[in-house]
């Protein structure tokens, strides 16, 4: 059902031609008419409204005023020459100013006549002025013609395009031309009538017209609402269809028995009482693995909420039923740590655990591979190395992926192929993500939440400090070390091969060793450029308490567990995102002692950096932090979503449109429950539309 008009290459739109067409393709990613139609304005200017001078404030965008111009004067010479004038209405006056075409404007300005002016006020010291306003003699127009102007779209453009007359006005003209050519046939309605009714949506054709050229504010809102809903609904539909397909294709492995391993561990070796949340999630996993459908579950839990033990107990369910399990971690350090925790818990049960990473020696690797293939090893813990094709399991029943945000969908898909029967998959996030985001990027997963921390944890105390406090901070660390504690000092090496970052890390390290000299203190250092074996060696020294301070980059960000560490100093904290700060803070507060997180920043912070620091000082709750992060940065920038590429929302905003996300999810579920294959006549248009999306279609490819 490809619409031929909308598929027309952009060059063929009147007034574009090959040369400008190339530019538009390159700079705006617009290749055909349909792309141009989807190049939405990012802002509108209201030209139907007339403001008063007294309404102008710091927040004012473009304003339109009616009044008289007087006190015209030219000041300065040559390049500094400018024209100024006062502009007054019945509420006050403001300065108008021109830096260009001064002579021409001077000649044409008519003092004391009424003008309609339009421009963006700027604040200079204590007063406002409008540079280069658009002017129109008010007597030339009838008041009614003002209404027709309505909201004007503003489009994004680039410097190069502007030189080719493709500024916002130029693009506006192109879009206008395109829309004039279109009829309802080109943009047929595909949402079922019932849905349109229940969501109170306007028609697709009207929505496109009004999002570009809104007749009024109400229609603009309705157009945005309609197109946002459509965007979110199609995404949810796609996820749910894929999920249905996958469940139909792959019979889920059933774990009928809770057997010897699980019961023995639960009754005799459980190191602590499980929290209510841990028990609830285990029940959810149990239900999934009994259902006959393949489990794809996302386990969300704040740092320290105890995800590992949940994963281990789920593995025991698999092993009790004759299956193997694996746990994949994003880094070597983490894999090793998981290996130690899990093999310690598994030892009394007589369960064999293998560690498989990039640095496993060939001979050992060979031995491990053969034991995984013949089923002698029940559990494999490791890095991506586990996902390689050469790693073959006898019968993998459960795969656990820790710290999901470093894994793409493609990697998850590799796991689905690790057994003839698709294994159950449990993915665990490092940091909570807001529900709307989870529904949008992991929409094909069911979600479990560990919303309860194990008892007895003291919340980490978080403070903000600046360079002037350095001595105080280091003396504080000395006191903690004197009490037998350890400290982390983290530097922002964003790119491990960024020389300047590495230099600041090394300088920091030297400063730390001067403050904490041998033989009284021992300092470790870890960064991404170290050889894995050296990293491991330094890590182990810190774990064993042989060093007091760990100077590190964010390689220690996730998962590292040294309960004796009680201080986390984050240098240049303003350079980190909220999720990362929270994750780093999660490295302390893991023991019974009071722990501290010290955010060091430069003196003057941008307002968003200040908000991040404030949020950190205010709350320890990862779910609150995640919501805040989404608000401050927008979903595209959120940790872990950048590389996912799944989320290309043009209009909807996951922070602001959460109601719409939930509504779209609910409607998509309802629709598929009643008509899983979209075969009912009323859903036919929708089915055809999805099919027409080619490689975007949910039926095109199951990744």
User: What residue ranges bind Mg ion (CB under 5 A)?
Assistant: 559
CA 250 to chain centre: 31
Assess 404 for contact with ligand ADP (CB under 6 A): no
For the CB of residue 306, give the shortest distance to Mg ion in the complex, in Å: 9
Q: Which is nearer to ligand ADP, 304 or 443 (CB)?
A: 304
> Which partner, Mg ion, ligand ADP, none, binds residue 304 by CB below 5 to 8 Å per kind?
ligand ADP
Phi and psi torsions of 384, nearest 5°? -55, -20
Out of 41, 119, 214, 301, the only residue in the binding site for ligand ADP (CB under 6 A) is: 301
Mode of pairing for the β-strands spanning 127-131 and 92-98? parallel
Burial class (CB in 10 A: 0-12, 13-18, 19+), 504: middle
Residues 259-278 that bind ligand ADP (CB under 6 A): 272-275, 278
**Spatial strand order in the sheet of 379-382:** 353-356, 379-382, 324-328, 396-402, 424-428, 296-301, 446-450
Out of 188, 454, 545, 577, the only residue in the binding site for ligand ADP (CB under 6 A) is: 454
Assess 524 for contact with ligand ADP (CB under 6 A): no
> Which partner, ligand ADP, Mg ion, none, binds residue 158 by CB below 5 to 8 Å per kind?
none
> Which partner, Mg ion, ligand ADP, none, binds residue 638 by CB below 5 to 8 Å per kind?
none
Residues 88-127 that bind ligand ADP (CB under 6 A): none
The CB density around residue 646, as the number of other CB atoms within 10 Å, is 17
Distance (Å, rounded) from C-alpha 95 to C-alpha 617?
44
Q: Which is nearer to ligand ADP, 335 or 369 (CB)?
A: 335
Q: Which is nearer to ligand ADP, 191 or 445 (CB)?
A: 445
Out of 303, 551, 579, 652, the only residue in the binding site for ligand ADP (CB under 6 A) is: 303
Out of 210, 222, 242, 305, the only residue in the binding site for ligand ADP (CB under 6 A) is: 305
Nearest to 566 by CA among 545, 580, 540, 581: 545
DSSP state, 545? T
Element (H, E) at 269: none
Burial class (CB in 10 A: 0-12, 13-18, 19+), 700: middle
Could you tell me if 137 and 113 are in contact, meaning their C-beta atoms sit under 8 angstroms apart? yes
DSSP 412-438: HHHHHTSSSSPPEEEEE-SS---HHHH
Peptide bond into 519 cis (omega under 30): yes
Please name every residue paired with 87 in a beta bridge, in sequence order, or none if there are none: 69, 94
Q: Which pair of structure tokens corresponds to residue 86?
A: 């006062």
Q: Which is nearer to Mg ion, 312 or 476 (CB)?
A: 312
Distance (Å, rounded) from C-alpha 553 to C-alpha 570?
10
Return the residue matching tokens 């008041």: 143
Distance (Å, rounded) from C-alpha 448 to C-alpha 427?
10
Assess 304 for contact with ligand ADP (CB under 6 A): yes
Q: Which is nearer to Mg ion, 295 or 428 (CB)?
A: 428
Q: Which is nearer to ligand ADP, 513 or 561 (CB)?
A: 561
Could you tell me if 578 and 634 are in contact, meaning their C-beta atoms sit under 8 angstroms apart? no
Q: Which is nearer to ligand ADP, 278 or 486 (CB)?
A: 278
Phi and psi torsions of 160, nearest 5°? -60, -45
> Which partner, Mg ion, ligand ADP, none, binds residue 290 by CB below 5 to 8 Å per kind?
none
Assess 345 for contact with ligand ADP (CB under 6 A): no
Q: Which is nearer to ligand ADP, 7 or 273 (CB)?
A: 273
Q: Which residue is nearest to Mg ion (CB)?
A: 559
Nearest to 211 by CA among 39, 34, 24: 39
Assess 309 for contact with ligand ADP (CB under 6 A): yes
Q: Which pair of structure tokens corresponds to residue 516?
A: 């904490």
Nearest to 539 by CA among 529, 503, 527: 527
> Which partner, Mg ion, ligand ADP, none, binds residue 274 by CB below 5 to 8 Å per kind?
ligand ADP
Q: Which pair of structure tokens corresponds to residue 473?
A: 């901070």
Assess 42 for contact with ligand ADP (CB under 6 A): no
Phi and psi torsions of 446, nearest 5°? -85, 150
Q: Which residue is nearest to ligand ADP (CB)?
A: 306
Residues 581-620 that bind ligand ADP (CB under 6 A): 590
For the CB of residue 427, give the shortest distance to ligand ADP in the complex, in Å: 13
For the CB of residue 299, give the shortest distance to Mg ion in the complex, in Å: 10
DSSP state, 698? T
DSSP state, 528? T
Assess 306 for contact with ligand ADP (CB under 6 A): yes
For the CB of residue 207, give the shortest distance to ligand ADP in the complex, in Å: 44
Contact region for ligand ADP (CB under 6 A) — 137-145, 213-221, 298-306, 483-491? Answer: 298-306
Binding residue count for ligand ADP, defined by CB under 6 A: 16
> Which partner, ligand ADP, Mg ion, none, binds residue 306 by CB below 5 to 8 Å per kind?
ligand ADP
Q: Which is nearer to ligand ADP, 166 or 453 (CB)?
A: 453
Nearest to 152 by CA among 24, 48, 30, 36: 48
Could you tell me if 623 and 433 are in contact, meaning their C-beta atoms sit under 8 angstroms apart? no
Contact region for ligand ADP (CB under 6 A) — 173-181, 215-223, 301-309, 673-681? Answer: 301-309
Three-state helix/strand/coil letters over 201-232 = CCCHHHHHHHHHCCCCHHHHHHHHHHHHHHHH
> Which partner, ligand ADP, Mg ion, none, binds residue 305 by CB below 5 to 8 Å per kind?
ligand ADP
Q: Which is nearer to ligand ADP, 242 or 429 (CB)?
A: 429
For the CB of residue 589, give the shortest distance to Mg ion in the complex, in Å: 14
Q: Which is nearer to ligand ADP, 188 or 591 (CB)?
A: 591
Q: Which pair of structure tokens corresponds to residue 219?
A: 């229609």
Out of 289, 308, 462, 641, the only residue in the binding site for ligand ADP (CB under 6 A) is: 308
For the CB of residue 291, give the shortest distance to Mg ion in the complex, in Å: 26
Assess 561 for contact with ligand ADP (CB under 6 A): yes
The CB density around residue 500, as the number of other CB atoms within 10 Å, is 9
> Which partner, ligand ADP, Mg ion, none, binds residue 309 by CB below 5 to 8 Å per kind?
ligand ADP
Out of 226, 238, 293, 307, the only residue in the binding site for ligand ADP (CB under 6 A) is: 307
> Which stretches of the chain bind ligand ADP, using CB under 6 A?
272-275, 278, 301, 303-309, 454, 561, 590
């Amino acid at each position: 059902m490809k619409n031929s008009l909308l598929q027309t290459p952009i060059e063929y739109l009147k007034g574009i031609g090959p040369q400008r067409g190339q530019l538009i393709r390159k700079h705006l990613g617009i290749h055909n008419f349909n792309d141009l139609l989807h190049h939405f304005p990012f802002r509108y200017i209201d030209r139907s409204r007339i403001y008063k001078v007294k309404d102008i404030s710091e927040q004012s965008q473009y304003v339109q005023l009616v009044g008289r111009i007087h006190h015209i004067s030219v000041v300065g010479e040559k390049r500094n020459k400018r024209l100024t004038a006062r502009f007054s209405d019945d509420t006050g006056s403001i300065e108008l100013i021109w830096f260009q075409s001064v002579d021409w404007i001077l000649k044409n300005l008519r003092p004391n006549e009424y003008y309609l002016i339009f421009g963006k006020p700027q604040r200079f010291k204590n007063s406002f002025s409008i540079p280069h306003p658009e002017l129109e003699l008010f007597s030339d127009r009838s008041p009614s013609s003002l209404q027709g102007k309505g909201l004007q779209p503003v489009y994004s453009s680039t410097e190069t395009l502007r030189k080719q007359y493709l500024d916002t006005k130029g693009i506006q003209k192109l879009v206008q031309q395109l829309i004039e050519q279109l009829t309802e046939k080109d943009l047929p309605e595909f949402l079922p009538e019932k849905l349109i009714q229940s969501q109170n949506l306007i028609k697709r054709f009207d929505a496109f017209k009004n999002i570009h050229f809104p007749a009024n504010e109400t229609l603009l809102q309705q157009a945005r609402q309609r197109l946002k809903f459509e965007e979110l609904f199609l995404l949810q539909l796609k996820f749910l269809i894929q999920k249905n397909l996958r469940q139909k294709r792959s019979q889920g492995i059933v774990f009928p028995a809770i057997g010897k391993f699980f019961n023995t561990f639960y009754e005799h070796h459980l190191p602590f009482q499980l929290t209510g949340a841990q028990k609830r999630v285990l029940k959810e996993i149990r239900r999934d693995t009994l259902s006959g459908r393949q489990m794809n579950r996302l386990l969300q839990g704040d740092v320290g909420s105890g995800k590992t033990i949940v994963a281990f107990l789920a593995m025991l369910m698999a092993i009790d039923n004759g299956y193997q399990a694996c746990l994949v971690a994003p880094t070597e350090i983490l894999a090793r740590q998981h290996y130690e925790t899990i093999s310690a818990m598994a030892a009394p049960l007589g369960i064999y655990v293998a560690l498989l990473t990039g640095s496993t020696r060939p001979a050992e690797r060979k031995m491990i591979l053969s034991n995984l293939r013949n089923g002698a090893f029940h559990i494999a813990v490791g890095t991506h190395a586990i996902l390689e094709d050469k790693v073959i399991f006898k019968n993998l029943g459960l795969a656990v992926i820790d710290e999901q945000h470093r894994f793409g969908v493609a990697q998850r898909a590799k796991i689905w192929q690790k057994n003839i029967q698709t294994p159950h998959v449990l993915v665990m996030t490092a940091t909570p993500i807001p529900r709307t985001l989870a529904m949008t990027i992991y929409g094909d997963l069911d979600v479990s939440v560990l919303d309860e921390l194990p008892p007895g944890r003291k919340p980490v105390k978080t403070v903000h400090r600046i360079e002037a406090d350095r001595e105080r901070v280091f003396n504080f660390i000395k006191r903690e070390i004197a009490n037998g504690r350890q400290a982390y000092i983290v530097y922002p090496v964003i790119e491990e091969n960024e020389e300047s970052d590495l230099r600041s890390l090394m300088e920091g390290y030297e400063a730390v060793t001067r403050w904490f000299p041998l033989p009284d203190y021992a300092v470790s250092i870890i960064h991404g450029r170290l050889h894995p074996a050296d990293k491991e060696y330094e890590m182990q020294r810190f774990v064993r308490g042989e060093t007091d301070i760990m100077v590190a980059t964010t390689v220690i960000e996730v998962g590292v567990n040294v309960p004796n560490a009680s201080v986390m100093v984050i240098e240049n904290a303003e350079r980190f995102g909220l999720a990362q700060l929270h994750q780093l803070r999660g490295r302390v507060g893991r023991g019974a002692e009071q722990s501290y997180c010290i955010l060091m920043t430069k003196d003057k912070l941008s307002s968003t950096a200040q908000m991040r620091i404030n949020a950190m000082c205010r709350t320890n709750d990862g779910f609150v932090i995640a919501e805040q992060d989404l608000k401050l940065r927008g979903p595209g920038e959120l940790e872990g979503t950048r590389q996912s590429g799944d989320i290309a929302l043009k209009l909807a905003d996951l922070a602001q449109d959460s109601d719409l996300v939930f509504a779209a999810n609910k409607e998509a579920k309802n629709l598929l429950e009643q008509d899983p294959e979209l075969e009912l006549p009323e859903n036919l248009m929708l089915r055809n539309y999805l099919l027409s999306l080619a490689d975007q279609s949910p039926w095109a490819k199951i990744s």
